[in-house]
Amino acid sequence: MELPAVAQDAIDAFLASRGATEDVARFTDAALWRRPMQDGRSSAAMLELFGRIRTLRATGMDIRVVAIDGEGAPKAREALLAANLAAVLDGNAGRQVVALVGGLHAIREKGKRFDPQYESAIYLLSARKPLSLTVGTAGGSAWICRGNTPATCGEAQWDVNRITPAPAGPFSLTPPSAQFDGLFYVGPTTASPPPIR
């Protein structure tokens, strides 16, 4: 997951816990949930996702969550994401690896609207032939940060990934653009604020 690597110990401890109220409190006391810039990576929906993963692991499913993000300027950050993801792939040969990252980190081709030299983490891993899916929606709202200060984060209408008409099923390997191999369709979205403010 595109989460700070320094959060790994807190993630591991929570996933190994009973999921009791005090376990959730300890987990949400970690720096991951207390950052000044609370974007969607530290939303109530992400906390719920961790709870569901913890439950699946408790029933015997062999699921591991690895935090692969770090700090740095865009180019250095993409290289770090790619290196960390490559290490996960190398350490899990023969296993299915799913990387949950933001759309810009998952584009397949070099360049983006504001920087023709931009190289995403997935672009940097293109020799490994990753399958890159983007999220498709029916529109709705999202919790996003439109700037570099906490005041710029909040609920906003979000139609960027609107797919019309809706695909026949949740997965499509018909590329919505040259940047992706396909999409995962979720329907209408509702913004999820941080669980800790």
Under a CB-based contact definition with an 8 Å cutoff, are residues 194 and 44 in contact? yes
pLDDT digits (tens, 9 = 90+) for 22-34: 999 999 999 999 9
pLDDT, mean of each 10-residue run, the chain (197 residues): 96 97 97 91 96 97 95 88 96 93 93 88 96 95 92 92 89 90 95 91
pTM (two decimals): 0.91
169 Cβ contact partners less than 8 Å away, ≥ 6 residues apart: 185
Per-residue confidence (pLDDT) for residue 179, from 0 to 100: 93
54-85 pLDDT, tens digit each: 999 999 999 999 999 988 888 899 999 999 99
